[in-house]
Amino acid sequence: MPGTERERVSELEPGLVRVRAANASPLTADGTNTYLLGHDELCVIDPGPEDPSHLARVLDVIGRRPVRAIAVTHAHLDHSGLSRALAARTGAPVLAFGDARAGQRPAPDGLASGPGVDQTFRPDGLLRDGEILEGAGWRIVARHTPGHMGNHLSFDDGRHLFSGDHAMGFATSVVSPPEGHMGDYLDSLERLIRIGPRVLLPGHGDSVADGLARLGELLAHRLRREAQILDVLASGPASPAEIAERLYTGLAPDLRPAARRNVLAHLIALVDRNRVTSDDSVSEMATFRRV
């Protein structure tokens, strides 16, 4: 196998293989991680983007083994896009919390959908919070972790947490309204902290051995960012775009849209708690002020 192919397929431990898609970007690190769990009977977690080369690579690792389920953390194209093609080739059902709108809070009027949403995603079956998937030699619990998206699930096998885009080691997560909600994101982080130590197996980047510490770091980061936003507004009204320019100094241009969406998500959560108000339609260009 050529070196690049070898790097994309990694046996993390017996019965657990990571296949990394070739969709590297500032938001996806080296690409989307697809996980194959099991020995003789498999569960595929996050099939990845709709890419024939990634499909061929995943099928090569599967070989002749049956696939019991294709579990999708959330309906972003880089995670769910390959689900139908993989289901057609393996006969396995696609399982998720729901379509792209499932679990989503009511959105402010006029707020456009965020980028990368798989609007056509329709799972074959629904997984509810606490529901168990199991096969020969493996067992995972679906944990509903809304925030990055309303339909986001993490999968817990008791030692590992397949955390999708909810918690990663290389970067913080983008929370982009209306599909994402910062209040839900914070609540989900706190819930995962309560379940105890896990190795994080995120949707992008490498494994995080001390997952509990990383979850705590992400929660503290978001609470600091919220405090910073309130400090900016203490000096007068501002838009999400203006706040992002002040807080995300030196940020690469291709990451600025994500920064503005994160600020907007924080502001919407603060509006929900009556800490902030806006007289305009809610958008990146709206003006917000402290209550």
Chain segment 104-138, per-residue pLDDT in tens: 998 777 788 888 999 999 999 999 999 999 999 99
Strand pairing of 9-13 and 153-156?
A: unpaired
pLDDT band at 3 (very low <50, low <70, confident <90, very high): very low
Chain segment 15-54, per-residue pLDDT in tens: 999 999 999 999 999 999 999 999 999 999 999 999 999 9
Mean pLDDT, the chain, as a whole number?
A: 94
Cα 270 from chain centroid (whole Å): 22
CATH of the domain spanning 3-211, picked from 3.40.50.740, 3.60.15.10, 3.40.630.10, 3.20.20.70:
3.60.15.10
| pTM check: above 0.85 | yes
* pLDDT value at residue 2: 35
Domain ranges of the chain: 3-211, 223-290
Q: Tell me yes or no: is domain 223-290 CATH 1.10.10.10.
A: yes
Sign of CA dihedral 133, 75, 29, 215: negative
Give the percent of the chain with pLDDT over 70: 98
Quick check: 4 pLDDT over 90?
no
Lowest mean pLDDT among 20-29, 64-73, 254-263, 278-287: 278-287
Task: Give backbone dihedrals phi and psi of 271, rounded to 5 degrees, phi first.
Answer: -60, -45
Q: What is the mean pLDDT of residues 239-267?
A: 92
Quick check: 223 pLDDT over 70?
yes
pLDDT band at 5 (very low <50, low <70, confident <90, very high): low
| Helices 240-247 + 211-234 axis angle, to 10 | 120
Contact 4, 23 (CB under 8 A): no
